[in-house]
Amino acid sequence: MTTPPAPPPAADATEVSTTFVGQATPRIDGLDKVTGAARFVDDLAFGPDLLHAEIVASPHAHARILAIDAHLAEQVPGVVRVVTGKDLPFAFGLYMKDRHVFAQDRVRFVGEQVAAVVARTPQAAKRGAQRLEVTYEVLPSALTTEAALADDGVRIHPDLIDYPHVPWFTPQPGTNIAHWRKLRKGDVEAAFADADVVLEGTYTVPRYAHAAIEPHAVVAAMDPAGRLTVWSASQSPYTQRHLFAEALGLSHQDVRVITPYVGGGFGGKAGVTMEIMGAALATAVKGHPIKVRWSREQEFQNTYQRQGLTAHLKVGAQRDGTITSLQHTLHWDAGAYVEYGANVVNAAGLSATGPYRIPNVRLDSLCVYTNLPPGGPYRGFGYSEFTFGLESHLDRLAHELAIDPVELRRRNAIVAGDELPYGATMNPSGLREAIDRAAEAIDWGVEEPAPAPHVRIGKAVAAFWKAPAMPPNAGSAAFLKFNEDGSINLGVSGMEIGQGYLTAMAQIAAEVLSVPPSRIRVETPDTDRNAYEWQTVASHVTWGCGNAVLAAAEQARTRILEAVSAVHGHGIDVLYLDAEQVRCTTDPRFALPLRDLVVGGVEDPSDGTFKGGPVVASGRFMPEFTTTRSDPETGQGGKPNVHYTVGAAGIVLEVDVETGKMHVRKVALAIDAGRAINPIAVEGQIVGGVLQGLATVLFEDLRFDEDGRLLNPTFTDYKIPTSLDVPDEVVPIVVEVAQPDGPFGARGIGEHTMIAVAPLVANAIEDAVGVRVTSMPITAERLFLAMDA
């Protein structure tokens, strides 16, 4: 069906259009055989009553919804119901409630959900969606931060002042600024006036997709008793439960979220995006499980994207290399809704000095609404973006000062006890060791021979840091129980997304209880069964959930030793666990196997009674020393971050001056893990982070046309690296300076390993060919044109 002709544009530059939303969708008559196997699996898992929902999306970047006509859609055989925003007028958001389950009076980006067609088969749902008629009045849009910040620009959220938000957000009513994180320290202007060198620059980072192989999917069902169960591929089961209950007006006890293994997250499956559609639809069509599954194009268009950034930097320094002042202004393209993305902006605004000791600082981090898809969490949580500009700028500063770039970083590196930009003190870390070891691994200062006359070799070193971005009351909990054979079930609600989380939790419990990790089953989350976890984000679960598991294991050990002590008379102080037995330091022959007592108890040989009983335990952890209370105009006061993980990386890069093509010979990355619970997993995270960082700087970016339509929503046009693009060598280096409050000294490292990679490449290019590229991605074509210019 074709689109009816639209009337000519009105004088105010708006236009009215009526669309049959599925008109561009190819015919689906031949899909029955293709989807038959998937349908069979669905029936096995959820029964033959499973319904399918097709989401109807906006074709406009900004438009008012004038009418929705479901008459033709409802006549399609198999269609059960058409649901619109009027049926489900629910707002939601983790940090700011600025988004609805389905659009209400207007749409704010191409791909925003307008309605859903629920049917008995995916094919019927698609046919119904093709016949749903939506009439729009097209409105002016703002597709860049420059347009959105203009005085005469369109206001994307006129009701911004009314949106509920967390207390540390500072939306600016009457503008497109959803949040403005300010940080002021010292006297920046006086320091610039006294500096020997002042250097300015602007750097840009585009939007990126998470590109997880598994797309988003959700199945939800509400039973006749009003109990909502949701199966989702998520990093945040408890957060989802909370937002579902809050938005849909349900009690938390009546919402259950079950999450299996996740096929790639990188932040894209944190919080709530499309999952709330499945939950809401289940309340509208009770008694049936309903499935919503994103296609690859929907995955690109309507899940969180990494936000675009324009960064303006001004740095002052003395001739000896001491950095005295920093002014860093960050304009974030946060998209149409910022309910999660604004916290990325907040986190970056607290730490955009990088891991350096700078006495005079002015940071402005602005979360700007645009009419592009919503931005949100992505591995690195804003640090990768601002680090591209900052570390690029420091290499330029080193050249201006005629100082070795490695020495410049060493000289200004922050150390334990130094004052952080917001007034707290820096935790122990091995930053200088990491810088030295990364430089050593690439033979810094040693000239590499080129393989051909048209190839140049460049080297670079960059430093990085990141703190877990989380509210001060982000808690973790763990349930632990022994079984009759002495094995253990551990119930936690962090998510295994490939980082080795389940193994690390088993290792922590094993270390305390002397039970091999292979005999500890760590369960995937089910909010009815497993203990609470805020979210699997911020690289904090090894630290936070690890502390909860440690507490549960220690409680279980205490209960075991107390029962044995009560029966056998040995003091608890001389009892210990070893090799799945209770042993005694004062009686080497004393040995009680755990399997004989952890469920049935300890038998008293004097009278045949038993003491103890089934060993169950729980643990919890919350960073009780943190607070977000600070002066909104200066950012001073409080302790918004629990600690920083630091590191450094080095690269050896080949550049072909005839083509602009680049080849990575070697990347070495050193990270201070505090204490590596699983060194092999840490090394794996280093390799994976390096490769993902190279992908963002050399290959990836999301591109939009002048109407806000995404031009590359598939892997055909959105380029990601393959095995042929892997560096010749990646050298993982684990530094260990213990985190005092971490489990066995551990802290998180998962996101950090990609943060420094983009500026590494940019700096190595300048070292090789003398060209500075200030915009990502740095493709061969862009580099060749820069060299040619």
Task: Yes or no: say if 178 and 160 are a contact pair by the CB < 8 Å rule.
Answer: yes
C-alpha 478/C-alpha 505 separation (Å) is 10
Residue 490 has a pLDDT of: 98
Using DSSP bridges, classify how beta strands 255-258 and 228-232 pair: parallel, antiparallel or unpaired: parallel
From first CA to last CA, the distance across the chain in angstroms is 49
Q: Per DSSP, what are the bridge partners of residue 333?
A: 308, 368
> If you compute the radius of gyration of the chain from its CA atoms, what whole number of angstroms results?
28
Supply the pLDDT for residue 3: 39
237-109-716 Cα angle (round to 5):
80
**Is the CB of residue 694 less than 8 Å from the CB of residue 653?**
no
Question: What CA–CA distances, in Å, run from 652 to 393, 460, 508?
Answer: 19, 7, 37
- Whole-angstrom CA distances from 471 to 165, 525, 539, 546, 633 are 13, 21, 14, 18, 20
Among candidates 367, 366, 361, which has minimal Cα distance to 327?
361
Which residue has tokens 């620059």? 201
DSSP H helices in 569-699: 679-698
The pLDDT averaged over each successive group of 10 residues in the chain (789 residues) is 37 43 35 47 78 98 98 98 97 96 98 98 98 98 98 96 95 97 98 98 98 96 96 96 98 97 94 97 97 97 97 98 98 97 96 98 98 97 98 98 98 98 97 98 96 98 97 96 98 95 98 98 96 96 98 98 97 98 97 98 95 97 94 94 98 98 98 98 97 98 98 96 95 98 97 98 98 98 95
Tokens of 157: 């959220």
Using a 10 angstrom Cβ sphere, with 0-12 exposed, 13-18 middle and 19 or more buried, the burial of residue 372 is buried
The count of C-alpha atoms lying within 13 angstroms of the C-alpha of 511, restricted to the half-sphere facing its C-beta, is 15
Q: What's the CA gap between 550 and 555, in Å, rounded? A: 9
Residue 164 tokens, joined? 């509920």
How confident is the model at residue 638, as a pLDDT?
A: 87
**What does each C-alpha distance from 528 to 106, 205, 227, 276, 293 come to in angstroms?**
37, 42, 12, 19, 24
pLDDT for 23: 34
Instruction: Write the Ramachandran bin of 322: left for phi over 0, alpha for psi from -120 to 50, otherwise beta.
Output: beta
Q: Decide: residue 448, CB within 10 A, 0-12 exposed, 13-18 middle, 19+ buried.
A: middle
The pLDDT of residue 318: 98
Q: How much is the pLDDT for 16?
A: 55
CB atoms within 10 A of CB 398: 19
Q: Is the dihedral of CA 721, 727, 731, 736 positive or negative?
A: negative
The distance between the two most distant Cα atoms of the chain, rounded to a whole number of Å, is 98
- Residue 425 Rama label (left phi>0; alpha psi -120 to 50; beta): beta
E-state strands within 599-746 = 602-603, 610-611, 616-621, 645-656, 662-672, 729-735
CA distance 143 to 145: 7
Confidence at residue 44, expressed as pLDDT on a 0 to 100 scale:
63
